[in-house]
Structure 1
Amino acid sequence: MTTPSDPFRHHPQLRGQIIPPETSRFRNLDLSDMDRQMRGMGLPEDWRRSDENRDQSRRETLQDRWGQDIWIFAYGSLMWDPAFHFSEVRRATLSGYHRRFCLKSEVGRGTPEAPGLMAGLDLGGTCNGLVFKVEAERLEEESHYIWRREMLLRSYAPEFLEMETALGSVEAMAFVVNRENPLLLPPMSLEETARQIAGAEGYLGPNIDYLENLADAFELLRLEDEELFRLRDLARRFRSERA
């Protein structure tokens, strides 16, 4: 049974498929412990954005949004593990941007010797995903977790973009690739991308798990992304060849 206040009223199949915020590892990150681990791996002191710098970005981005509900666009792991409380979720399509495995991961899903690849939102094409609504009264608290989840490093830049849902268009905050990020990679072939994903593993586990989770979310939502499923199949093949 659904009610008007049920976050999953438009997509009941997602109930139980999205990690509850309170149990998300991203909501409960111990940054001091992560700092110690990263230094032990040889990363510099400034391996991540400072808390002050990250909070300045949060306040500048949201300075005209306080007192309003906002939507957050999810096109990668936010789809199944947003780490923030939301009151509504919808399928959404963004035009003018596409999902690309273009961000080198030397810690989370890889190592400096065998970096993994994470998805970013790059210019051109279209991108399917989800939008989550964060209520105005929760925005101050939840935005801290959103920024710690997505803006810990310098991979993304938050932008408010227009996108379409079955219930009409919404303006949602999307984390697009930061073009000044040194870990942003040029385009690669699907085969090169799959080989790199198949061979990488880091602090958060094998890179292929990230790809599998993303493909699972698309199958659950019946979202189309032929390239994503071809990439998953190739990565599976390359992974099995390495075993």
Structure 2
Amino acid sequence: MLEKALSEWGGDEDLWLFGYGSLIWRPDFDYAERRAARVHGWHRALKMWSRINRGTPERPGLVFGLLSGGCCRGVVFRIPREEGGEVLARLWKREMATAVYDPRWLAAETPQGRVRALAFTLSRKSPSHTGELSEEEYRAIFAFASGIYGTTLDYAHRTHEELQRHDIRDRNLEKLLRLIQRG
């Protein structure tokens, strides 16, 4: 899939990447520019099982996926053309280690105009998609799930804080975090 993404990018112009979760606050790559962005037809959802980074096989945690429907505010990163291939290869090791995402080129609207950006989307048919979870299931995951990068709860809080810093409101995430306060 990496070769396909590289081929579709072409390498003739700068590479754009769309971040909607941890890429916003931990990109792990240098970039020439970061812009606010919105993609239509997709939304951020804490509905992807994480059995390594934020959970274990015995007690899976959650991470964000980009699911079809709605719209999503996030950021795009511009990677200079000459660094694009290397950055994409490193990002692939992080985001596609278990090949659960469907990488897609999406039209991202920015204040400076539209860019074509690579985003890591999640199919509802993926075994990593959680389907609908109850409030009790979310509470248990927030209370107990932890993996090599920490807890699902810390991940959700960190993402929420960074979205707020970028003046992005995610009502679904806010609702989930309120479960902990009521729990």
2:19 equivalent to 1:74: yes
- CA change 1:203–1:165 in 2 (3 A) is same
Kept in 2, the 8 Å contact 1:154–1:181? The answer is no
User: What does residue 147 of structure 2 align with?
Assistant: 202
Q: Distance in 1 between matches of 2:31 and 2:145?
A: 32
One-letter identity of the residue aligned with 2:142: I
Unaligned runs of 5+ in 1: 1-56, 239-243
2:45 equivalent to 1:100: yes
Kept in 2, the 8 Å contact 1:87–1:132? The answer is yes
Counting only pairs closer than 5 Å after superposition, residues 1-243 of structure 1 correspond to structure 2 as 57-64=1-8, 65-179=10-124, 181-189=126-134, 192-238=137-183
Kept in 2, the 8 Å contact 1:103–1:155? The answer is no
**CA deviations over 1:72-127 (Å, ceiling 9, x no partner):** 00001000111112100011111111111111112211122321111100111111
Shift of 1:166: 1.3
**CA deviations over 1:33-88 (Å, ceiling 9, x no partner):** xxxxxxxxxxxxxxxxxxxxxxxx21211214212112100001000111112100
Q: Distance in 2 between matches of 1:235 and 1:130?
A: 27
How many corresponding residue pairs? 182
Q: Distance in 2 between matches of 1:222 and 1:195?
A: 29
Kept in 2, the 8 Å contact 1:83–1:149? The answer is no
User: What does residue 7 of structure 1 align with?
Assistant: none
**CA deviations over 1:157-195 (Å, ceiling 9, x no partner):** 111011211111111111001455322221224554344
Bigger relative contact order, structure 1 or 2 (CA pairs below 8 A, ≥6 apart): 2
Q: Distance in 2 between matches of 1:168 and 1:194?
A: 40
Kept in 2, the 8 Å contact 1:194–1:232? The answer is no
What is the CA RMSD across the aligned residues, in angstroms?
1.7
Q: Percent identity?
A: 36
SS of 2:86's partner is helix
SS of 1:231's partner is helix
Greater strand share, structure number: 2
Q: Which has the larger radius of gyration?
A: 1
TM-score by length of 2: 0.91
- CA change 1:236–1:156 in 2 (3 A) is farther
